[in-house]
Each structure stands twice: as structure tokens, then as C-alpha cells.
Structure 1
Amino acid sequence: MRKLLVLLLVLMTAVSSTACGGNSDDNQISSKNGQTTLKIWYWGEQEAPGMKSFIDKAAEVYMKENTNIKVDAVLQESDTLYSAFRSAAKAKQGPDIQYFWGGTQALEDVWMGNVAPLSDYWSKEDIDNLPLAQRSETYWDGKQWCMPFYQYGSVWGYNKELFAKAGLDANNPPRTWEEFMTTCEALKKAGITPIGMGLKDGYFGGWIISLLGQQNMNTKQELVDLIKGSDNKSYTDPENYEWITKLKEMKDKGYFNTDIMSLDLYQGQQLFDSGEAAMTINAEPYLAQLERKEGADKIGIMRTPSFGEGKMADSVGIPSQVLAITSFSKNKEEAAKFLKFLHTEDMMKLMYQEAGAVTPDKRFKDEWLNTEVDKQIMAWSKGNPEFWYQYFYPFGFESSGVNPIVQKLFAVDLAPEEAAKEFQDALKKWKNQNPELLTAFEKWKVLE
């Protein structure tokens, strides 16, 4: 995510007045006058407004409690989050703690040798406080590599007032695909755009495959095996491209805004905010903030209606964005302590208070939640399987395969079978171009 993926540039902002990203002199000398500088490059303000305020306040508390530590936290720009870090990692000069979007979007830097294992510095008891579903996204080769920082349940938001206007039961959103299509048709007939979305930047591809693609699977490992090609599994197998058929059905029936190809992801999502579309897909912190603004009598959420035959047909996506200790950090122990600090009760409560973001931690208390969005997602996490498809396929496969193929599906009359073949061809190309990453990926046994 979740991440995820915004186009608006944000100013690089530091906790301390002297903070700056990637200063080699600061990185070569991590301790001065008996004080250790802990450098943190983070993201999150873009999808969890208030994250910068939280980091500022958390750093202030930590420095008061640990006077030998100076926390130098820099909010990163979206479009350079990875490129800036990888340049720093190549020079072995940069942050002690780095933010990543989760799953393979973090594991690729693990496989590049840029990350130190969290489990080398946290005790088993500490690790066991992390929920299994979020742990599994960055657990590889017997180690926990990243710390789940905040979760962003990715679900459908719907406008209860527009549902009621179309004669629909606003308190009982659709649960099956047939009900979903009936709902969309009723909205369309009432002159309401059913779904607001943008596809110009392509990022919708990673979202929609994560909401539809897993429905014929029983485990996360099945997707990893599909990517590996185990037992000759392929995207051309009907069960692995049924989701494309469903997406094309939505497109052909005119259930998206007509200018979807002219809008970026977040521009399309804003059609929901403005009341121009009845539904959209968005992240938990954002939808919760929208509920606080508009009220629970207007903003509702729902899981993706089911159509598949697998256990994951009833799954919900509650992935996490992560923080990791860099392999080149000279302050790994201190970095691990700061990460542990972020999972203390006071900090979990503070992050929710400031940014509306929920910490993936078994000790997080339901009673802290103050929106129906958060309460519903928490309930789903306890009663439904969790699976975010995007975090279990190669990061590069998204930009070279998933996103452009979904764009093509909307731009031309591409049959689902043809799209499935293009997915398989794109996957083959990624494998041929990334033999070292493929070798690491093939070692992946998902923690379930």
C-alpha cells in the first residue's frame, strides 16, 4: 500500500530542525558528544493523515526518556521512497530505520541485502505480540524481517445516502457477486455512478487484483506457488483468472466513472469523498477519517462480495506497512529498541489518536477504537481469513504486468483469456530479468 502509492509530492520534513535525508557525514559519525543519532526515513502522512504529528510526538517522548539518543526522522516523498533508499543502501549511508510498503514490497530489499532481521534483535516474546497475518507478509527464510507499523484494511467504502436514494438497504450492503451487480445496476439506473476510481497511473491494478484475485485460493501459499509455477500452475488456469472476468463484467456494464482512464487513483477515489460516486476502494485510516468528518450514518464499509470457491472468497485485506532496521546501520540495537517503543501501549494509543492508524499488535485494545470503520475491520480480522494478494507477488511484476494489463483491459476490448496469457507472459519476463530475486522468492514458505 495501501500503500499506498500516491502521486502528490510532500515536502521532506524532519523532527529536529537539523534533520536532513542522506547526509553521509552524519551517517559516518552516528555518535557525537556521547549522543547517538538515530536516523529514520518514514512515509504514511499520505494515507494516514496525522502520521507526521505522531512521529514528531513519539520522537520527543523517546528523546526525553533516552537522553543519549537524538531521533532524526524525515518524512519521505512518495515517488522517491524506494529510489532514495536504494541509493543510500548502495552507498551504505542513510537511515537506521526505513519505511517500506509491506509484503514483497519490503522483502525485495531483504533479498537485496538492505535489511537486517528484526528477529535478531527482538525476543521471541516480542515477536509473538505481532499478529500472524501481518507477520507472514515479511517472514522469510525462518526470520522476521520487518516490524508491522500500522495496518491499512483495504475495503469498499459506500455512501449510505446514495444507496438509500437508489432504493437500496444502506445497512445491508451486498455480500455475493450477484447482489453486488444488482446493487451497481440500481445505482446506475438512479443516475448515480456506482464506483469512483482512477486508472491513469495504473495503481488501481494492484488494488483490484488484491480484492478479487484470491477468491479461488485456500491459502496464501497457493499464490506464491502460482508465481513459482509449482505443479505447472499458471494464470491461464480458469480459476486464476476468473477475477479478470468479474472485473471486465463491471467495466462492460458501465459501473465505473466514465473518465476512469483520465484520473489517477486518488483522484478517482475522491469522487466518493465528494458524493459523485456511491462506492470506492480505500484504506482504513482514510475511510475512518472520512467517517469522523461525515458521520457513520453516511459512510459505511463492506468486504468484497464473494464469487469464488476457495476459502479466501471470504477473506479481507488488512495488510500492514512496515519499518525495518537497515543492514548498514551502525545502531541496530538502538533501532530495535525504538521499534519496540512504537509498540508500547502509550505509543499505540497515540498513533491512533493522531493518525487514526491501528498498530498490528495483539495487545491493541478494541476499546480504543472510535469509529465504526475501525470496529468493523477489527471484527473481520477475528472472523475472516486475511489475505492481501499484492503483498505476495513480486514487486516488479506489478509495474510491468498487473498495472498495465488492467489498464489495457479498460482501454481496449481485451478478452479475459487474452489478459490471462499476458499476465503469464509478464511473469515469465520478470523471472528471466530477475534471476537472483527469483531464487530468493522460490525459497519463500509463507507463515500461516
Structure 2
Amino acid sequence: MMVILTACGGGAGSSTAGGATAEAAAATGESAKTTDGAAPVKVVWWHAMSGELGGVVDELVKRFNESQDDVEVEAVFQGTYDESLNKLKTAMGSGTGPTMIQTYEIGSRFMIDSGAITPMQQFIDGESYDVSKLEPNILGYYTFDDRLYSMPFNTSNPILYYNKDAFKAAGLDPENPPKTYEEVEKAAKTLTKDGMTGGSFAIYGWFMEQLLANQGAELLNNSNGRAGMADQAQLGAPAAVRTLEWWKKMVDAGTMLNLGRKTDDTKKAFAAGQIAMTLDSTASLRGIVQAAEGKFEVGTAPLPKPTAADADKGGVVVGGASLWIMNDRPEAEQQAAWSFIKFLAEPATQAYWHVNTGYFPITKQAYDEDLVKENLKKYPQFQTAVDQLHGTEPTPATQGAVMGVFPEARQLTETAIEEALTGAATPQDALDRASAEITQKIQEYNSTVAQ
């Protein structure tokens, strides 16, 4: 499988720690052993959180380990999402893999088809765990055939960031950001002056996926691969062509810069005041606001719709990653991992995770925690992200596409965007070619999977 680097993955660093709860240990029958001085059940967790994110992971594991003596979790950084998944593929069947692994959302189809995981639904049903306390729009992505296969962990979606000071200086209302493609285009034109360009969107396949879902369009057939295995990509459909033509029109007009595929490059340009608008993940919010401190005020707005008539259509797809339990580990070890996963889903844990990373809480009650309330006062821009998530109605489009070759598909989408923006091909031709290649790869993958 061709691999690419995704925006919500890790970079460099490592983390180790340990933990669990007495409840899980009791479920495995290990409680008596550890109480008598035997070694706790060990859970090895492979993750892709680097840098500051890795530090937060360390802290959560430390808190979990210190809460009891029956289970010890060891968190091991394995590189980017792609690197971690490739290491898992190598370890499958060898007995050297982890108890649980964090895998990006676009790896879900592969994880299910691998036959190497124990569906989260098995643990949920085993003790009637109440999933109603979790965010339904986040659960929706990871639910297939009415079964939850993994537990959401780090979750984000994209929003529009804009320079409020630049809006005011250009005579635009900083409290009324653009909501449609046409309004973005007009604002970009007005903002392009005095060394500043209206905006820049990184060439990132995730953004195209989100802009399609935001107008209720599906990326794949068979209800985005959720009513059955998808075997056709729909990237050349009118919704995608309209979106790329709009994007290209602004680049051609010089009101939108093409800064390439790295989201970090658009973030730096935004912080430097070189561009007035950009798209980025909600997980980047705190960093973007902090980078602009003392220079300008950052505004946030929902992802734009094609037209005002599309206001009630579609919504955003959650991005990020979830946690999977591997089925080649002893039952006691799997139960211990489930206990740790429940700890991670607790409101207080989610509040700490959200405030220190910018990822959404997956538990609704986390918003009642004082820590979250105080953070929202400090970063009111995050309300846009919360409202956008809660305002999205689950549909096949907003639940997200499912295919076993998603990393490759995303890269092919980026190549098509690049070709269109640089004039190497028309948006229609570039997207048609990418759609045909994605379709071929999907069908090749499907042929290898037992139905």
C-alpha cells in the first residue's frame, strides 16, 4: 500500500508509561493475582502522537497507571500514522505486535478487513457500556453495519481561519466571515492588497473530502462504501469539479496563493500576515491563535458551502484516529486494554485531552468540566468547531468514505488538485483521471478481501 503523511499524525519523539483500572482487572480475573503481589496485566499501546501531543499521552497513561495496581500500560511511539500501520502489518501473525494501536480514520477499512482486531462492540455488549454519552457524530465514522469497531480517540475537523484585523482594514465585517464560495472569492479579492494575499489552502486531500461532504456529496458509490464495499470513486462528479474550479479561479486571479501540500506552510504564512484566510484542522486552533498573539486577532468560521442554498446540506467528517484492540493477544490483556480505553473516554480525561491538544472531547459530559469551560473562555474561537460538529447530521456523506486504499486515494486526489491549480490539466480532466485510478485501486484491493 502506498503511504502518505497525514495532518493529524506524529513526527518524532517517544513515550512510555503504564496503567489501568481495578474494574478491568476484575473482569479478567487478574485482580486476586495482583493483590497477592503478582505482576499486573501489561498492555502495550502503539501510538502516533509526537512532540507535545506525545507528552499529553504520557501524562494520561501515567495517571491511569497510578490509579490502580492491576494493569500497566506502556505507550510506545511508532512514528507517523503510516509508519505505525506499516509496522503493524509487519508484526501481524508474529506475536510481536501491540495489545492496542492508534490508527488514523482512513485506515479503518483495512483494520476491519485484516481480521486482526476484536471489535469494540464486543466489549460494549459484554457489559452494556453506555455509548449514548459519546458524541454521535464522532461515533458515526467508526460504526459499520451498526457495530463500533474501534473507539474514537483524537478527533478534529477543518474550519476557516481568518485575520480579523485584515478584514477590518479592508472594509469587511470581521464578525461576518464568508459563508459561501462566492463570498470567500469576493473577500479574497478585497483582502489582496498591501503585500497581503486573500488566502491559501494547502493541497490536502482531506480538505477536498470535507468540502464535498459539506455539500452532501459522496466520494464513493454504495453510500460512500457504507451500504456495501465501494467499487467506484466519484471524484469527477459535479460537486468536486465545481469546488476545484472555484479554488483554481482564485489562484489564477492571484487572490489565493498555492503554497503546496504542507499545511504547516499555510499556517506560517497566515501567522506572518502574508495571507488573510486559510483552512486548517480544529486541532491546530490553539497553535494558530498563539502564533498570531500580539499581531492580529484570529477569527474562525465554518467550512464554506458552495451557495446559500446549500446551507442545510451536508456537514463535516471527523478526522483524526481511533483505538483498536488486537485479537491475537490473551483475553485478559484485551480486557485490560478495554479498561484503559474506558478511562480515556471519561469526561475528566477527555477534558484534559481536549484542553491540552485541541482535539474534540469524544464524551459529551466533558463540556461540563470547568477545565473545558475555562479553555473556551480563553479560546472562544473553538465554539465554531463545536457548533460545526454538533450541527452536522449523520449521513453517508458526513460519516465519511470507507475504502481499503484510502491513503493512496488521498494522494491521487492531491495530485489532481496540483495539476489543476498549476494548469497542467483542467479540473474536470484531472479529477476524472484521479477517479479512474482510485477506482482501479479499490477494485484491486477488493479482490484480495474475502467477502
TM-score (norm 2): 0.80
Question: Gapped runs of 5+ residues in structure 2?
Answer: 19-33
2:282: which partner in 1? Answer: 284
Work out whether residues 39 and 73 of structure 1, in 8 Å CA contact, stay in contact via their aligned partners in 2: yes
Work out whether residues 11 and 75 of structure 1, in 8 Å CA contact, stay in contact via their aligned partners in 2: yes
Work out whether residues 177 and 301 of structure 2, in 8 Å CA contact, stay in contact via their aligned partners in 1: yes
Comparing 401-410 with 176-185, greater Cα deviation is found at 401-410
Mapping for residues 32-43 of structure 1, pairs under 5 Å: 33-43=38-48
Amino acid in the other structure paired with 1:80: E
Deviation digits for residues 96-147 of structure 1, max 9, x if unmatched?
1101111x42232121123210010124443232222211212123321111
Work out whether residues 108 and 437 of structure 1, in 8 Å CA contact, stay in contact via their aligned partners in 2: no
1:223: which partner in 2? Answer: 224
2:152 is the counterpart of 1:148: yes
Amino acid in the other structure paired with 2:152: P
Deviation digits for residues 379-404 of structure 1, max 9, x if unmatched?
23333436658654541442452122
Question: How far is 1:315 from its partner?
Answer: 1.8
1:72: which partner in 2? Answer: 74
2:208: which partner in 1? Answer: 208
1:135: which partner in 2? Answer: 139
Q: C-alpha separation between the residues in 2 aligned to 1:8 and 1:384?
A: 28
Mapping for residues 248-327 of structure 1, pairs under 5 Å: 248-258=248-258, 260-261=259-260, 264-292=262-290, 294=292, 298-307=297-306, 313=313, 315-327=315-327
What secondary structure, in the 3-state scheme, does the structure 1 residue paired with 2:303 have?
Answer: coil
Q: C-alpha separation between the residues in 1 aligned to 2:233 and 2:90?
A: 36
Deviation digits for residues 142-183 of structure 1, max 9, x if unmatched?
321111113213111111122222222111101122211110
Question: How far is 1:359 from its partner?
Answer: 1.8
Comparing 298-307 with 243-252, greater Cα deviation is found at 243-252
Structure 1 residues 117 and 162, CA, compared in 2 at 3 Å: closer, same or farther?
same
Work out whether residues 217 and 311 of structure 1, in 8 Å CA contact, stay in contact via their aligned partners in 2: no
What secondary structure, in the 3-state scheme, does the structure 1 residue paired with 2:56 have?
Answer: helix
Question: How far is 1:363 from its partner?
Answer: 2.1
TM-score (norm 1): 0.81
Q: C-alpha separation between the residues in 2 aligned to 1:226 and 1:418?
A: 29
Amino acid in the other structure paired with 1:58: L
Question: How far is 1:365 from its partner?
Answer: 1.7
Q: C-alpha separation between the residues in 1 aligned to 2:183 and 2:133?
A: 38
2:92 is the counterpart of 1:89: yes
Work out whether residues 10 and 49 of structure 2, in 8 Å CA contact, stay in contact via their aligned partners in 1: no
RMSD between superposed Cα atoms in Å = 3.3
Deviation digits for residues 231-279 of structure 1, max 9, x if unmatched?
x994444345322322222332223325x24x63322332112222212
What secondary structure, in the 3-state scheme, does the structure 1 residue paired with 2:439 have?
Answer: helix
Question: How far is 1:185 from its partner?
Answer: 0.5
Q: C-alpha separation between the residues in 2 aligned to 1:436 and 1:132?
A: 32
Mapping for residues 240-255 of structure 1, pairs under 5 Å: 241-255=241-255
Q: 2:350 aligns with which of 344, 348, 351?
A: 348
Structure 1 residues 146 and 113, CA, compared in 2 at 3 Å: closer, same or farther?
same
Structure 1 residues 380 and 214, CA, compared in 2 at 3 Å: closer, same or farther?
closer
Deviation digits for residues 272-318 of structure 1, max 9, x if unmatched?
12222212222212213433564597111112221156676452344
Q: C-alpha separation between the residues in 2 aligned to 1:215 and 1:320?
A: 21
Structure 1 residues 113 and 250, CA, compared in 2 at 3 Å: closer, same or farther?
farther
Comparing 286-295 with 60-69, greater Cα deviation is found at 286-295
Paired residues, what number?
Answer: 414
Q: C-alpha separation between the residues in 2 aligned to 1:327 and 1:164?
A: 57
Q: C-alpha separation between the residues in 2 aligned to 1:314 and 1:179?
A: 19
Amino acid in the other structure paired with 1:34: A
Q: C-alpha separation between the residues in 1 aligned to 2:282 and 2:437?
A: 31
Work out whether residues 158 and 279 of structure 1, in 8 Å CA contact, stay in contact via their aligned partners in 2: yes
Question: How far is 1:40 from its partner?
Answer: 0.6
2:414 is the counterpart of 1:406: no
Q: C-alpha separation between the residues in 1 aligned to 2:288 and 2:443?
A: 44
Q: C-alpha separation between the residues in 1 aligned to 2:230 and 2:120?
A: 30
Q: Identity, % of aligned pairs?
A: 17
Comparing 3-12 with 416-425, greater Cα deviation is found at 3-12
Structure 1 residues 189 and 437, CA, compared in 2 at 3 Å: closer, same or farther?
farther
Question: How far is 1:33 from its partner?
Answer: 4.5
Work out whether residues 288 and 373 of structure 1, in 8 Å CA contact, stay in contact via their aligned partners in 2: no
Comparing 124-133 with 138-147, greater Cα deviation is found at 124-133
Q: 2:176 aligns with which of 165, 172, 175?
A: 172
Amino acid in the other structure paired with 2:209: I
Q: C-alpha separation between the residues in 2 aligned to 1:229 and 1:343?
A: 31
Question: Gapped runs of 5+ residues in structure 1?
Answer: 17-30, 441-448
Amino acid in the other structure paired with 2:386: M
Q: C-alpha separation between the residues in 2 aligned to 1:344 and 1:8?
A: 24
Structure 1 residues 389 and 278, CA, compared in 2 at 3 Å: closer, same or farther?
farther
Work out whether residues 230 and 402 of structure 2, in 8 Å CA contact, stay in contact via their aligned partners in 1: no
Comparing 168-177 with 378-387, greater Cα deviation is found at 378-387
